[in-house]
Amino acid sequence: MESVLGRYRNLIVLVGVLFAQVLGLAVQVKRTSDSEPTRLIRVWAVGTIAPLEKALAWVQTSSSDLWHNYFYLRGVRAENRSLKAQLERMSLDQARMSQDADQARRLQALLSFKEQFISQTMAAQVIGASGSELSRSVYIDKGEKDHIKPDMAVITADGIVGKVLRVYRSTSQVLLINDQTSGVGALLDKTRVQGILRGTSAGEAVLEKVMSDETVPAGELVLTSGGDGVFPKGLLVGRVTRVSAGNDLFLNIHVRPAADLSKLEEVLVVTKIDERQTEPDQAGAARAVDILAERLPTVPAKVDTPEKDGVAPKTALPNTERAQAGTGQPGSNVKPKATPTTAVSGAAIGSSATNSDAATTPKPVSPKPVVPKSVAPETTDPKTVSPSAPPAEAQDSPN
Amino acid sequence: MATTYTSGEQVEVYRFSLPATLLVPLAAIFLQAFLPLRFHFFSIFDLPLLVTIGFATARRSPMAGLLTGGLIGILQDALTHHPIGLYGISKTVVGFGASSLGIKLDVENAGARFLLTIFFYVVHEVVYFLIARGLVGLRMAWSWPHELVSGMANAVLGIFVFMLLDRLKQRT
pLDDT digits (tens, 9 = 90+) for A329-382: 433 433 333 333 333 333 333 333 333 333 333 333 333 333 333 333 333 343
Asked whether residue A263 falls in the same domain as residue A328, the answer is no
The answer to whether position A13 is within a domain reads no
Residue A182, φ and ψ in degrees, nearest 5? -90, 155
Which pLDDT score, from 0 to 100, does residue A380 have? Answer: 37
User: Looking at beta carbons, which residues of chain A come within 8 Å of B79?
Assistant: 42, 45-46, 49, 128, 130-132
| Most confidently modeled range among A34-38, A342-346, B96-100 | B96-100
User: Looking at beta carbons, which residues of chain B come within 8 Å of A37?
Assistant: none
Give the contacts of A253 (CB within 8 A, at least 6 positions apart): A188, A195, A206, A207, A208, A210, A216, A222, A240, A243
Task: Give the DSSP H/E element, type plus range, for residue A164.
Answer: strand A160-167
Least CB–CB distance from A18: residue in B81, B92, B132? B92
Least CB–CB distance from A21: residue in B32, B33, B85? B85
Cβ of B67 within 8 Å of Cβ of A17? The answer is yes
Asked whether residue A233 falls in the same domain as residue A302, the answer is no
Confidence of residue B152 (pLDDT cuts 50, 70, 90): very high
- Given a cut of 90, is residue B116 above it in pLDDT? yes
Say which range, A57-71, A210-224, A292-306, B44-58, has the weakest mean pLDDT: A292-306
Answer with the residue of higher pLDDT: A341 or A34: A34
User: Looking at beta carbons, which residues of chain A come within 8 Å of B80?
Assistant: 130-132, 134-135, 137
Distance CA B163, CA A296 (A): 78
Asked whether residue A250 falls in the same domain as residue A266, the answer is yes
Asked whether residue A161 falls in the same domain as residue A253, the answer is yes
Under 8 Å between Cβ of A164 and A152:
yes
- Given a cut of 60, is residue B63 above it in pLDDT? yes
Cβ of B135 within 8 Å of Cβ of A39? The answer is no
Under 8 Å between Cβ of A186 and A170:
no
Cβ of A131 within 8 Å of Cβ of B138? The answer is no
- Given a cut of 80, is residue B42 above it in pLDDT? yes
User: Looking at beta carbons, which residues of chain B come within 8 Å of A247?
Assistant: none
Q: Mean pLDDT, to the nearest integer, of B90-106?
A: 90
Answer with the residue of higher pLDDT: A63 or A376: A63
Residue whose C-alpha is closest to residue B4's, from B109, B103, B100: B103
Confidence of residue A386 (pLDDT cuts 50, 70, 90): very low
The answer to whether position A291 is within a domain reads yes
Distance CA B83, CA A180 (A): 14
Which pLDDT score, from 0 to 100, does residue A384 have? Answer: 37
Asked whether residue A120 falls in the same domain as residue A261, the answer is yes
Asked whether residue A340 falls in the same domain as residue A264, the answer is no
The answer to whether position A43 is within a domain reads no
Residue of A nearest to B40 (CA): A262
Distance CA B172, CA B59 (A): 9
Q: What is the CA radius of gyration of chain A?
A: 31
- Given a cut of 60, is residue B97 above it in pLDDT? yes
CB atoms within 10 A of CB B123: 16
Asked whether residue A178 falls in the same domain as residue A306, the answer is no
- CATH code at A241? 2.40.10.340
Q: How close, in Å, is residue B168 to chain A by CA atoms? A: 22
Give the contacts of A27 (CB within 8 A, at least 6 positions apart): none
Residue of B nearest to A42 (CA): B78
Answer with the residue of higher pLDDT: B31 or A282: B31
> Which stretches of A204-249 are assigned E, i.e. beta strand?
205-211, 221-224, 236-245
Q: How close, in Å, is residue A114 to chain B by CA atoms? A: 35
Asked whether residue A120 falls in the same domain as residue A235, the answer is yes
Say which range, A59-68, A227-236, A354-363, B77-86, has the weakest mean pLDDT: A354-363
Distance CA A160, CA A142 (A): 18
Asked whether residue A150 falls in the same domain as residue A273, the answer is yes
Q: Mean pLDDT, to the nearest integer, of A195-223?
A: 87
Q: Mean pLDDT, to the nearest integer, of A90-99?
A: 89
Range of the domain at A334: 284-396
Which pLDDT score, from 0 to 100, does residue B6 have? Answer: 43
- Given a cut of 60, is residue B83 above it in pLDDT? yes
Which pLDDT score, from 0 to 100, does residue B125 have? Answer: 95
Residue whose C-alpha is closest to residue A264's, from A171, A176, A189: A176
Q: What is the tally of helices (H) and strands (E) in chain A?
A: 11, 12
Which pLDDT score, from 0 to 100, does residue A172 have? Answer: 93
Q: How close, in Å, is residue A67 to chain B by CA atoms? A: 18
A278: number of CA atoms within 13 Å, CB side?
20
The answer to whether position A25 is within a domain reads no
Residue whose C-alpha is closest to residue A172's, from A181, A182, A180, A162: A162
Which pLDDT score, from 0 to 100, does residue B159 have? Answer: 93
Give chain A's domain count.
Answer: 2
The domain boundary residue, chosen from A277, A302, A324: A277
B114: number of CA atoms within 13 Å, CB side?
7
Q: Over the stretch A258-306, which tens digit does the pLDDT of each residue have?
A: 999 988 888 999 988 877 666 655 544 455 556 556 656 555 555 554 4
Residue whose C-alpha is closest to residue B81's, from A183, A176, A148: A176
Residue whose C-alpha is closest to residue A394's, from A379, A383, A378: A383
The answer to whether position A35 is within a domain reads no
**Roughly what angle, to the nearest 10 degrees, separates helices B86-104 and B110-131?**
150
Q: Mean pLDDT, to the nearest integer, of B146-152?
A: 93
- Given a cut of 80, is residue B59 above it in pLDDT? yes
The domain boundary residue, chosen from A277, A307, A332: A277
Distance CA B13, CA A190 (A): 67
**Exposed e or buried b per residue across B76-115, where buried means at least 16 C-beta atoms within 10 angstroms of its C-beta:** bbbbbbbbbbbbbbbbbbbbbbbbbbbbebebeeeeebbe
Asked whether residue A373 falls in the same domain as residue A310, the answer is yes
Distance CA A334, CA A338 (A): 6
As a whole number of angstroms, the longest Cα–Cα distance in chain A is 129
CATH class of B3-171: mainly alpha
The answer to whether position A203 is within a domain reads yes
Asked whether residue A327 falls in the same domain as residue A207, the answer is no
Secondary structure (3-state) at A199:
strand
User: Secondary structure of chain B in the HEC alphabet?
Assistant: CCEEEECCEEEECEEECHHHHHHHHHHHHHHHHHHHHHCHHHHHCCHHHHHHHHHHHHHCCHHHHHHHHHHHHHHHHHHCCCCCCHHHHHHHHHHHHHHHHHHHCCCCCHHHHHHHHHHHHHHHHHHHHHHHHHHHCCCCCCCHHHHHHHHHHHHHHHHHHHHHHHHHEEEC
Which pLDDT score, from 0 to 100, does residue A56 have? Answer: 86
Q: Over the stretch A179-194, which tens digit does the pLDDT of each residue have?
A: 988 899 999 988 888 8
Burial class (CB in 10 A: 0-12, 13-18, 19+), A33: exposed
Residue whose C-alpha is closest to residue A226's, from A381, A116, A338: A116
The domain boundary residue, chosen from A277, A304, A332: A277
Cβ of B84 within 8 Å of Cβ of A24? The answer is yes
Asked whether residue A253 falls in the same domain as residue A138, the answer is yes
Q: Which residues pair with A207 in a beta bridge?
A: A197, A253
Give the contacts of A222 (CB within 8 A, at least 6 positions apart): A186, A187, A188, A189, A197, A207, A236, A237, A238, A239, A240, A253, A255
Which pLDDT score, from 0 to 100, does residue A325 have? Answer: 40
User: Looking at beta carbons, which residues of chain B come within 8 Å of A56?
Assistant: 34
Question: In A268-341, which residue ranges form alpha helices assigned H by DSSP?
Answer: 284-295, 316-327
Distance from chain centroid for Cα A216: 21
